[in-house]
């Protein structure tokens, strides 16, 4: 297992460095349209072929990775933190706090947030840099995506509240934040890890889908999500294996995170 | 010995039915949304218009292939000298699908309902050239005169949109004069049309039309699924095909794919010239400068747009009218040639200068603006990205923002909070009069600067004058001169920067006989009464 | 009994609040007073004004909401603006479709997730865990749109798409919870003592992780409902999800408020149900 974990670290590091240095070794500018060769298969100049506007896919994957790899985990972290604050603390405190927090969470889960996103888009100026648009999108996703795991965390914290070792810790004088941090939170780690891991691809795909509202990445900046949406054209253009590279990359990155985060688990 | 006569009979009957031109059968195709209404006066969306076309009997039909007016429920007609009245001689011994006889009273009733101002019928609004009452005088059961308060240009062809409703039938919704009637409607599922047993039209051999027994319209908003259904044989035609699907079909089954040539629709972009729009003043100055707009137009590579976005199934657009509109297109006009150097020269005349890779105006502001377009329309998103790159070559920094349609409309028609927009027009009518509310500076749909109290520029005043002149004239030649001049002004001033005219692409299964796709809507089933499910391949004229 | 009444009252309160909040969101979003038909260049100025007036009648949110509540109590849920049909009829037609889709999807999704999670944890082999992780990662990363299209292409039932959307999320939570539970000291002892794995799972692991697993069950309903929207829209299924999407694009206020109320009720019921079962579990189990 340790070997696999090391490999996962190495892979993630490699991907991060490759994307950060996209400006150095991308064969072409991600926006450059090679208009004589749209939708072309892989070749010397274009390692992964070109997209429908003739842009080099390999360069776009590099730059897209940079955008998504930096922002999606940050947004996932934000949503996990919020879930902990709302769900974990409420479950631990119990009583009235818990009821209100859970009621608010359920309400949050049911709202049509589409309209809030539309309103946010309306308030933003039209001439924002593509990177700002993506950053705002991921921020919003992070702020809106905590509700599901808050519920699970609440259930977990509630269970821990009455457990033996917490009672013992209380009896020995440990209170409040310290009790929370030392005894409760670590036991909620599995759910936090799951939340974090799920959020990354969910946010990446949501960011692409939010393009329909004018949020998300705007042309010509690529993101993983927008690259994944290329797959939708298989009905008209047929399955082309090189288009699956962004998908494979995402799957490997998510799996890599999963492996790294399962550090403390015991395989009995 | 006994088998041979049987075989002979079988052979004879088969060849006889083949010779007679097949009978029966069900034609299946898709609507992209539920019809919003079955009331023929209120139809506006594609699905409702399709159902009206298939079920409604009209007085005068515009032949979709020849683009000429033909008699349908009216055997002949005359338009008065002042252009305000039209007299119809109606076909007699015609009955509605429920048996009610058809006569002039039905026409009068239809016209009165159509022109009811409280109804706000879009079709009725096409006739509303002036305020006042519309009078109908019934001379006899087969002769009626309709008089409008003001002259209506192209009066006869407008009746192609007016389905005659029965005045007396107990079941007004079901009683129709067209080839089919609505037999069943399951929301979100299908609309089933059945053959009208009382349809008046017969073919050359005297057989009653339509040949088809039923038409099944499945409701399918998803074009990918529509394409899959067609490939599987679940539907028989696709009325409007995207260029990517067309190419795929062409590669696999070329005889099923039809390219009828450039259509009437256009794709265009325009700049916001509204005086009190919430955009910076210096940008408004740019957008109001003719040289700026012409420079943008010259810097866009239209050939690339046609080739890359539409796979070659589009043509660079010269102006507001497509060459497919044979009579009204101003043949002197040509699409602007791709000329970035010329564009820069025009910009320099206005005081813009290129510093490094970015363009700056007289005051030193970098030229940076946004284009909004509707999300979900892949062709427009791609065109916007290509325009972004083209304008980037002359130093303009363009942001592409895709918005959902409702937000887009709000920005264009209410808040005017946009800088430039990229949209398209679906032109169903050949006559320029249908576009009055686009060209008149006081109108709501004068997109770049709607609802002006008085024309703000000399050229808009000129367009106003010309449009009013063509509307009140009856002489087609005179009208053409006026509208040709309007097209010329538009090309000189570029309030709309026309990009491409898309080709009309459709798919027709081999089992559909007599299909011949054309450019006018409805492209593939305009001759529904002579279509049938047989074994012939579709003709290609 | 009293707690039940209190619970129901609280639920009603949340639902009402939800309706009002969603109405506010819709009202404040751009594009509320416009109609696509305005762009028809045949329309006269008066007709365009008439279209605007129709849209403007819902502008006063308080009036709209009170009006809606009043009618709702009598069973009239209002009229959809975009489809021009009574909301009640629309919901009655489409609810069974979505219920079947979501129900079947949840069932299959949970089955796959639990089987895979239990298998991966009990097998105690790194390879198994790897395979399960990658499988779940694949389905997390493929957009619902692509999955949906694939399934239509292959003529496979749509509920499988929902199952495949739910499965990786449930798997992720379940696997982590189970792995955690298996790591607890008393279970290590139990293994060492030779207690059968099945017994360990049923008597020691599940009670500990049970409450949280039930909470996951509760929220998986929300996840499935959320997935129903793109799946129905893409696969052409006439259910609540497709209705919701069309209503959102058309800013159809009556329909959207009703849909939010419906979703809120379902979410509350699912989550409170799982909470209730969890309490029972706790009192009877470990």
The whole-number average pLDDT for the span B167-185 is: 87
Quote the CA–CA distance of B29 and C153 in Å, as a whole number: 18
- For B31, C16, C115, the CA distances from C60, given in Å and listed in that order, are 36, 17, 52
Cβ-nearest to A235 among B227, B308, B403: B227
Top-tier CATH class for B57-177: alpha beta
Contact C183 A268 (CB under 8 A): yes
Looking at residue A158, its pLDDT comes to 80
Check if the beta carbon of residue C22 is closer than 8 Å to that of residue A113.
no
Cα of A5 vs its chain's centroid, Å: 20
Contact A212 B389 (CB under 8 A): no
Q: Quick check: is A48 in a domain?
A: no
Cβ-nearest to B399 among A53, A126, A236: A126
SS3 content of chain B, % helix, strand, coil (to 5): 35, 25, 45
Q: What residues of A are in contact with residue B400 (Cβ under 8 Å)?
A: 218-220
Q: Does B346 touch chain C (CB under 8 A)?
A: no
Q: Where in chain B is the domain with CATH 3.10.105.10?
A: 266-502
Is pLDDT at B439 greater than 70 in this prediction? Answer: yes
pLDDT tens digits, C181-211: 777 777 777 777 877 777 777 777 777 777 7
Q: Does B294 touch chain C (CB under 8 A)?
A: no
CATH of the domain at A175: 1.10.3720.10
Contact B122 C34 (CB under 8 A): no
The whole-number average pLDDT for the span C118-137 is: 81
Contact B417 A126 (CB under 8 A): yes
The whole domain housing A186 covers 2-7+56-267
Q: Which residues partner with B374 through β-bridges?
A: B403
Q: Quick check: is A67 in a domain?
A: yes
Contact A213 B370 (CB under 8 A): no
Quickly state the pLDDT bin for A236 (edges 50, 70, 90).
low
The whole-number average pLDDT for the span B333-358 is: 93
- The span from the first CA to the last CA of chain C, in angstroms, equals 26
Q: Does A40 touch chain B (CB under 8 A)?
A: no
Q: Which residues partner with B496 through β-bridges?
A: B270
| Chain C closest-CA separation from residue A175 CA (Å) | 24
Neighbours of chain A (3+ CB pairs under 8 A): B, C
Give the DSSP H or E segment for A178. helix A176-179
Q: Does B416 touch chain A (CB under 8 A)?
A: no
Residues 6+ apart with CB under 8 A from B19: none
Which chain B residue lies closest to A238 (C-alpha atoms)? B248
Q: Does B344 touch chain A (CB under 8 A)?
A: no
Please give the tally of structural domains in chain A: 1
Q: Where in chain B is the domain with CATH 3.90.76.10?
A: 57-177
Q: Does B44 touch chain C (CB under 8 A)?
A: yes
Residues 6+ apart with CB under 8 A from C100: C159
The whole-number average pLDDT for the span A77-82 is: 92
Q: Does C19 touch chain A (CB under 8 A)?
A: no
Quickly state the pLDDT bin for C31 (edges 50, 70, 90).
confident
Can you list the positions of beta strands (E) in B406-473?
420-425
Cβ-nearest to B406 among C31, C40, C46: C31
Q: Does C248 touch chain A (CB under 8 A)?
A: yes
Q: What residues of A are in contact with residue B369 (Cβ under 8 Å)?
A: 127
The whole-number average pLDDT for the span A187-204 is: 84
Closest alpha carbon to A112 in B337, C226, C163: C226
Q: What residues of A are in contact with residue B272 (Cβ under 8 Å)?
A: none
Looking at residue B12, its pLDDT comes to 52
pLDDT tens digits, B348-391: 999 999 998 999 999 999 999 999 998 888 899 999 999 999 99
**Which residue intervals of B197-339 are DSSP H helices?**
223-232, 243-252, 281-288, 290-299, 302-304
Is pLDDT at B18 greater than 70 in this prediction? Answer: no
What angle do helix axes A189-209 and A130-144 make, rounded to 10 degrees?
Answer: 140
Instruction: Check residue C201 and report its DSSP letter.
Output: I
Contact B189 C238 (CB under 8 A): yes
pLDDT tens digits, B133-154: 899 999 999 999 999 998 888 8
Three-state DSSP at B211 gives coil
Parallel/antiparallel/unpaired status of strands B314-316 and B74-79: unpaired
Quote the CA–CA distance of B58 and B65 in Å, as a whole number: 17
Contact C152 B224 (CB under 8 A): yes
Which chain B residue lies closest to C89 (C-alpha atoms)? B187
Q: Does C243 touch chain A (CB under 8 A)?
A: no
Task: Say what percent of chain B tops pLDDT 90.
Answer: 69
Query: The whole model's pTM is what?
Result: 0.90
Topology, domain B266-502:
Dipeptide-binding Protein; domain 3 (3.10.105)
Cβ-nearest to B389 among A33, A130, A233: A33
Looking at residue B536, its pLDDT comes to 43
Quote the CA–CA distance of B132 and B149 in Å, as a whole number: 5
Q: What residues of A are in contact with residue B419 (Cβ under 8 Å)?
A: 126-127
Is pLDDT at C1 greater than 90 in this prediction? Answer: no
pLDDT tens digits, C45-57: 888 888 888 888 7
Q: Quick check: is A31 in a domain?
A: no
Contact A209 C230 (CB under 8 A): yes
Q: What residues of B are in contact with residue A223 (Cβ under 8 Å)?
A: none
Contact A236 B224 (CB under 8 A): yes
Task: Say what percent of chain C tops pLDDT 70.
Answer: 98
* Interface contacts B/C by beta carbons within 8 Å: 102
Which of B108-117, B405-414, C130-139, C161-170 has the least mean pLDDT?
C130-139
Check if the beta carbon of residue B212 is closer than 8 Å to that of residue B206.
no
Residue B533 dihedral angles phi and psi, to the nearest 5°: -95, 100
| Chain C closest-CA separation from residue A191 CA (Å) | 6
Which of B168-177, B204-213, B531-540 has the least mean pLDDT?
B531-540
Task: Say what percent of chain B tops pLDDT 70.
Answer: 94
ipTM for the complex?
Answer: 0.89
Looking at residue A114, its pLDDT comes to 84
- Pull the structure tokens for residue A55: 């842009």
Contact C145 A189 (CB under 8 A): no
Looking at residue B19, its pLDDT comes to 47
Contact A110 C138 (CB under 8 A): no
Which one of C134, C215, C235, C285 makes the best mutation probe of the A interface by having the most chain A beta carbons within 10 Å?
C215
Looking at residue C284, its pLDDT comes to 57
Is pLDDT at B21 greater than 50 in this prediction? Answer: no
Q: Quick check: is A33 in a domain?
A: no
* Interface contacts A/C by beta carbons within 8 Å: 190
Looking at residue B379, its pLDDT comes to 92
Mean pLDDT (chain C, rounded): 85
Quickly state the pLDDT bin for B541 (edges 50, 70, 90).
very low
SS3 content of chain A, % helix, strand, coil (to 5): 75, 0, 25
Cβ-nearest to A127 among B224, B370, B385: B370
- Pull the structure tokens for residue C43: 């329309």
Interface of C with A in 34-93 (CB under 8 A): none
| Chain B closest-CA separation from residue C203 CA (Å) | 49
Q: Does A52 touch chain B (CB under 8 A)?
A: yes
Task: Say what percent of chain C tops pLDDT 90.
Answer: 19
Neighbours of chain C (3+ CB pairs under 8 A): A, B
- Pull the structure tokens for residue C27: 């009202």
Which chain B residue lies closest to A236 (C-alpha atoms)? B245
- Pull the structure tokens for residue A41: 């298969």
Residue, of B300 and C212, whose pLDDT is higher: B300
Q: What residues of C are in contact with residue A107 (Cβ under 8 Å)?
A: 14, 17-18, 21, 264
- Pull the structure tokens for residue B261: 């040539």
Which chain A residue lies closest to C278 (C-alpha atoms)? A155
Which of B314-318, B412-416, C246-250 has the least mean pLDDT?
C246-250
């Amino acid at each position: 297992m340790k070997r696999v974990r090391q490999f996962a670290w190495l892979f993630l590091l490699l991907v991060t460095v490759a994307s950060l240095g996209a400006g150095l070794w991308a064969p072409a500018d991600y926006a450059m349209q090679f208009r004589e060769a749209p939708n072309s298969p892989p070749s010397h100049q274009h390692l992964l072929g070109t997209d429908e506007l003739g842009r080099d896919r390999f360069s776009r994957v590099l730059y897209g990775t940079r955008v998504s790899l930096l922002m999606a985990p940050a947004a996932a972290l934000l949503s996990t933190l919020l879930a902990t604050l709302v769900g974990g603390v409420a479950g631990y405190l119990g009583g009235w706090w818990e009821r209100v927090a859970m009621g608010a969470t359920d309400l949050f889960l049911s709202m049509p947030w589409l309209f809030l996103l539309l309103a946010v888009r309306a308030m933003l100026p039209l001439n924002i840099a593509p990177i700002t648009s993506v950053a705002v999108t991921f921020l919003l996703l992070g702020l809106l995506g905590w509700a599901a795991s808050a519920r699970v965390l609440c259930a977990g914290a509630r269970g821990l509240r009455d457990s033996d070792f917490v009672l013992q810790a209380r009896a020995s004088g440990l209170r409040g934040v310290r009790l929370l941090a030392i005894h409760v939170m670590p036991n909620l780690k599995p759910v936090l890890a799951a939340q974090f891991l799920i959020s990354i691809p969910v946010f990446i795909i949501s960011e692409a889908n939010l393009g329909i509202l004018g949020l998300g990445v705007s042309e010509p900046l690529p993101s993983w999500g927008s690259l994944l949406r290329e797959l939708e054209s298989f009905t008209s253009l047929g399955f082309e294996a090189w288009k699956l590279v962004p998908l494979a990359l995402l799957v490997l990155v998510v799996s890599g995170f999963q492996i790294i985060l399962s550090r403390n688990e015991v395989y009995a | 010995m006994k088998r041979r006569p049987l075989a002979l009979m079988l052979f004879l009957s088969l060849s006889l039915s083949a010779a007679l031109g097949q009978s029966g059968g069900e034609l299946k195709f898709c609507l992209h949304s539920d019809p919003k209404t079955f009331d023929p006066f209120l139809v506006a969306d594609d699905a409702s218009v399709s159902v009206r076309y298939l079920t409604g009997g009209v007085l005068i039909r515009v032949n979709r292939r020849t683009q000429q007016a033909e008699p349908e429920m009216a055997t002949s007609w005359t338009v008065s000298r002042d252009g305000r009245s039209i007299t119809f001689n109606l076909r007699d011994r015609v009955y509605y699908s429920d048996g009610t006889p058809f006569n002039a009273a039905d026409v009068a009733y239809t016209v009165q309902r159509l022109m009811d101002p409280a109804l706000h019928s879009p079709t009725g609004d096409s006739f509303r050239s002036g305020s006042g009452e519309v009078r109908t005088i019934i001379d006899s059961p087969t002769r009626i005169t309709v008089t409008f308060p003001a002259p209506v240009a192209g009066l006869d062809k407008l009746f192609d949109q007016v389905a005659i409703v029965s005045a007396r039938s107990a079941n007004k919704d079901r009683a129709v004069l067209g080839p089919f009637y609505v037999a069943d409607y399951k929301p979100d599922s299908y609309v089933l049309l059945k053959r009208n047993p009382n349809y008046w039209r017969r073919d050359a051999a005297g057989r009653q039309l339509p040949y088809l027994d039923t038409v099944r319209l499945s409701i399918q908003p998803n074009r990918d699924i529509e394409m899959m259904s067609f490939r599987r044989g679940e539907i028989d035609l696709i009325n409007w095909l995207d260029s990517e699907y067309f190419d795929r079909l062409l590669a696999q089954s070329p005889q099923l794919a039809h390219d009828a040539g450039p259509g009437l629709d256009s794709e265009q972009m325009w700049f916001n010239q509204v005086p009190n729009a919430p955009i910076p003043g210096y940008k408004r100055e740019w957008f109001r400068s003719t040289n700026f707009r012409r420079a943008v137009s010259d810097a866009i590579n239209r050939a690339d747009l046609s080739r890359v976005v539409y796979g070659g199934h589009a043509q660079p657009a010269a102006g507001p009218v497509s060459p497919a509109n044979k009579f009204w297109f101003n043949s002197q006009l040509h699409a602007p040639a791709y000329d970035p150097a010329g564009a820069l020269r025009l910009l320099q005349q206005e005081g813009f200068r290129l510093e490094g890779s970015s363009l700056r105006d007289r005051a030193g502001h970098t030229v940076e603006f946004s284009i909004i377009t509707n999300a979900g329309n892949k062709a427009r998103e791609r065109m916007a990205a290509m325009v972004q790159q083209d304008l980037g070559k002359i130093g303009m920094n363009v942001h592409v923002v895709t918005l959902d349609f409702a937000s887009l409309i709000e920005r264009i028609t209410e808040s005017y909070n946009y800088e430039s927009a990229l949209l398209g027009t679906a032109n169903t009518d050949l006559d320029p009069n249908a576009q009055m509310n686009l060209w008149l500076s006081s109108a709501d749909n004068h997109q770049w600067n709607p609802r002006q109290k008085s024309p703000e520029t000399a050229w808009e005043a000129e367009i106003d004058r010309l449009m009013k002149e063509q509307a009140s004239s009856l002489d087609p030649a005179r009208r053409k001169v006026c509208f040709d001049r309007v097209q010329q002004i538009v090309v000189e001033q570029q309030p709309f920067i026309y990009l491409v005219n898309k080709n009309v692409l459709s798919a027709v299964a081999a089992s559909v006989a007599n299909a011949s796709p054309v450019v006018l809507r409805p492209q593939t089933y305009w001759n529904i009464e002579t279509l049938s499910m047989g074994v012939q391949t579709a003709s290609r004229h | 009994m009293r707690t039940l009444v209190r619970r129901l009252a609280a639920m009603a309160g949340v639902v009402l609040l939800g309706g009002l909040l969603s109405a506010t969101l819709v009202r404040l979003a751009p594009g509320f007073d416009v109609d696509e038909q305005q762009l028809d260049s045949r329309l006269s100025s008066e007709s365009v004004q008439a279209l605007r007036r129709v849209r403007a009648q819902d502008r006063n949110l308080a009036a709209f909401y009170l009006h809606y509540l009043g009618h709702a109590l009598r069973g009239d849920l209002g009229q959809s603006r975009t489809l021009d049909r009574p909301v009640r009829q629309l919901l009655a037609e489409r609810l069974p479709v979505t219920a079947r889709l979501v129900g079947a999807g949840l069932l299959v999704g949970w089955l796959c997730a639990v089987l895979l999670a239990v298998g991966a944890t009990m097998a105690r082999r790194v390879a198994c865990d790897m395979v399960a992780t990658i499988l779940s990662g694949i389905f997390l990363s493929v957009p619902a749109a692509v999955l949906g299209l694939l399934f239509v292409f292959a003529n496979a039932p749509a509920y499988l798409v929902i199952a495949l959307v739910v499965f990786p999320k449930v798997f992720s939570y379940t696997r982590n919870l189970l792995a955690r539970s298996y790591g607890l000291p008393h279970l290590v002892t139990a293994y060492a003592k030779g207690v059968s794995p099945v017994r360990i799972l049923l008597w020691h692991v599940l009670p500990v992780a049970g409450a949280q697993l039930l909470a996951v069950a509760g929220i998986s309903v929300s996840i499935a409902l959320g997935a129903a929207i793109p799946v129905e829209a893409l696969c052409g299924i006439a259910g609540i999800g497709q209705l919701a999407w069309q209503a959102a694009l058309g800013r159809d206020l009556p329909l959207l408020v009703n849909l939010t109320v419906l979703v809120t009720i379902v979410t509350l019921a699912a989550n409170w149900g799982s909470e209730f079962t969890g309490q029972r579990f706790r009192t009877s189990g470990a």
